[in-house]
Structure 1
Amino acid sequence: MKRIESSILITLFWVVMIGHAAADDGMRIRLLIDSDANNETDDQHAIAYALLSRDKFEVEGITVNKTHNGGDVDEQMAEAERVVKLCGFYPQLPVFKGANGSFAEILPHLDEPVYDGKEAVDFIIKQAKKQCDRKLVLLPIGKLTNIALALAKDPSIIPNIRIVWLGSNYPRPGEYNLTADLTCIDYVLSLPVDFEMVTVRYDDPSGSWGVKAYQQDIFDKMPGMGPQVDVRVEGRHGGTFTTFGDYSVSLYRHAPQHGDPPFRSFFDATAVAVLKDPKLGKAIEVPRPALNGRGWVERPKNPLKMVLWQDFDGPAIMQDFFNVIDAATAE
């Protein structure tokens, strides 16, 4: 009789545990990252931050694109795969090549069997169409080209997605991700899709420029950190690595630094942070503007709104990033 009771208790224990796991999974954010991964240093850290925040994100895949720096889409792909490997997600997490060119250049070819960016576009649409009670969050941390192409190819995905874009100096003109493809911005903003803009605002502490990863902190805190992988991964600047932490040090050693003490802004990782914890930034709803050249034209009567993220808690974001890497090391 005691054996039967014990068996029942064990069964009930696992039923409860499985139920909790299912509930936790249902609370996680479905995430698809779209990145120019080989551009500088922030993309790699944003990808690692999201992948290793397992309690918050269900990362379904990564798509890549070409911007001004970092080579063509093959080099962007190679860098994304390095990070996926160093975080212990290879080969189960898919990475797909996206656009080399601009939205305007590719748009006329969307009905052709093969076109620039097709792998990424097809994957975005496929994941957006999966039956699920949670929206798919698209996190473009480069140009918006792949996202715009997917929306043009299949507008039926609009109700199923939420776009959180790291880009623009809004309300000021310019910014790297914006100018990487000026032809897609107005198109995306014209659609009734959930859209959020995580501001950059160079030299302005109210934008993600103000979230700073100091070189010395990377040198002090990152060596040997993150999951240990079995197969050594060749780095962007040479050498081989078995932890993301050691690769992070290499990236910061080779990247030009700014200021005194030296730092690089943690732009892309800021978008991951406010997705994880909205209290790490301030969000306001504004009418969507229009783009005129590289600058913005306000449209106060526009019924379409967007969420604008600004005023980020830089120290708290950096601490959370280091906490995530530290927790992954202890696994």
Structure 2
Amino acid sequence: MAYPHLDEETRLKRLRRPSGPVRMVLDTDTYNEIDDQFALSYAILSPDKVRLEAVYAAPFWNSLSDGPKDGMEKSYEEILRILDRLGRPSDGFVFPGSDRYLPAADVPVDSPAARDLVAKALASSEDDPLYVVAIGAITNVASAILLNPDIIRNIVVVWLGGHHLANRDTREFNLEQDVHASRVMFDSGVPLALIPCLGVASHLITTLPEIERYVKGKGDIGDFLAERYEGCSSDHFGYSRVIWDLSAVAYLVDPSFVEADLVHSPVLTDQVTWSVDTGRHFIRCATRVHRDAIFGDLFRKLDVYAQA
């Protein structure tokens, strides 16, 4: 697959941390766990930092779905439930995504989500890029790039995927579901901010007592998030849960929340491990999340929302 050439100076400029409000779309496998619900709510509650223009339902396949298509459809329905509790209309805002993973590295899966992303990216510019925050399998985003590779000039992808670059493997749920799509992120030259799971986002841990104190009772959305958290385990004694997906939104909300360095884009091997090639282009890779600052910001925004 031949991708448009993006010179390194332009890519590095695009990878600078934004200081003001940015235009953003969110690609999410919302029903897969409980963390996507928190991330979507956080994005909507942060309009001074991110202007959310669309939400895309991503595929997933685990014990909560019968396959990628069923996972995407359940995610779509979960997105609607969240928007309803936040009093947000969904028409022209939420789009169903891929019903399967990429069959090959150069074969997209067409969907309303991929088409909308292409349209929004083409309507953007190098000076006003569209930030594509992805917190699930990257199928929709890769498909959009394959449908129209020119969009890499106008977007910045922020993706929660894979593990720390020093980890012995990168068999992480989001990445491993669609290895073909994942390789598009690393090989296409699209400006990419990668947030690894183990070793970075894995620090975003919370507990039921904290959720009951700072989330439950904070309006319809607070009660919904608290219900989802409580239902994630039958025994919360000594139990904590990682709310992974907050990290990707936090990356745009405040640069101090997620530290990140420039690294050469890793090679994703057939063994689903990282390999280093210092001749490759740069991406930005998160190295640390500030857990207390991120949760504190979310809790404050929920409180303000509940009192409005």
Quote the offset at 1:259 in angstroms: 8.4
Out of 280, 290, 299, which is 2:277 matched to? 299
Alignment of 1:42-191 (within 5 A): 42-69=35-62, 70-71=64-65, 72=70, 73-91=72-90, 94-104=93-103, 108=107, 116-131=109-124, 133-171=127-165, 172=167, 173=169, 174-191=171-188
In 2, Cα distance between equivalents of 1:294 and 1:38: 25
1:215 counterpart = 2:216:
no
- The separation in 2 between residues aligned to 1:91 and 1:64, in whole angstroms, is 12
Alignment of 1:197-276 (within 5 A): 197-201=194-198, 204=199, 207-226=200-219, 243-256=220-233, 261-276=238-253
Partner SS for 1:102: coil
Shift of 1:148: 0.5
Q: Is the Cα–Cα contact under 8 Å of residues 170 and 296 in structure 1 kept in the other structure? A: no
Q: Which has the larger radius of gyration?
A: 1
Give the Cα–Cα distance (whole angstroms) in 2 for the partners of residues 97 and 105 of structure 1.
21
Residues 312/83 of structure 1: CA separation in 2 closer, same or farther (3 Å cut): same
Corresponding letter in the other structure for 2:143: L
Aligned partners of 2:295, 2:22: CA distance in 1, in Å?
21
Asked if 1:29 corresponds to 2:28, the answer is no
Alpha-carbon distance in 2 for matches of 1:142, 1:283: 20
- 244-253 vs 124-133, which deviates more? 124-133
TM-score, scaled relative to structure 2: 0.85
Question: 1:187 Cα shift?
Answer: 2.0
Question: Does structure 2 conserve the Cα–Cα contact (< 8 Å) formed by 1:84 and 1:93?
Answer: no
Give the distance between the partners of 2:227 and 2:242, measured in 1 at CA.
16
User: Does the 8 A contact of 2:142 with 2:181 survive in 1?
Assistant: yes
Instruction: Give the Cα separation in 1 of the matches to 2:234 and 2:28.
Output: 22
Residue 33 of structure 1 contacts residue 139 of structure 1 at CA under 8 Å; is this kept in 2?
yes
Which is further off, 288-297 or 144-153? 288-297
The alpha carbon displacement at 1:268 in A equals 0.4
Q: Which protein, 1 or 2, shows the higher relative CO under an 8 Å CA cutoff with sep ≥ 6?
A: 2
Count of aligned residue pairs for this structure pair:
279
Deviation at 1:92, TM superposition (A): 5.2
**Aligned equivalents of 1:272 and 1:28: distance in 2?**
12
CA distance in structure 1 between the aligned counterparts of 2:79 and 2:243, rounded to whole angstroms: 17
Cα 1:256–1:141 change in 2 (3 A) is: same
- Note the C-alpha offset of 1:330: 2.0
Query: 5+ unaligned residues in a row in structure 1: which ranges?
Result: 1-25, 111-115, 227-242
Q: Is the 8 A contact 2:57 2:97 kept in 1?
A: yes
**1:318 & 1:67 partners in 2: Cα distance?**
26
Whether contact under 8 Å (2:105, 2:183) holds in the other structure is no
- The residue identity in structure 1 corresponding to 2:115 is D
Structure 1's consecutive aligned runs of 4 or more residues displaced over 6 angstroms after TM superposition are: 257-260
| Contact map agreement 2:105 2:180 (CA 8 A) in 1 | no
Counterpart position of 2:254: 277
8 Å CA contact 1:128, 1:161 repeated in 2 = yes
Tell me how far 1:311 sits from its aligned partner.
Answer: 1.5
Structure 2 unpaired stretches of 5+:
1-18
Q: Secondary structure at the match of 1:224?
A: coil
Give 1:312's aligned residue: 289
Alignment root-mean-square deviation, CA: 2.0
Amino acid aligned to 2:260: A
2:294 match: secondary structure: helix
TM-fit CA distance, 1:131 = 4.3
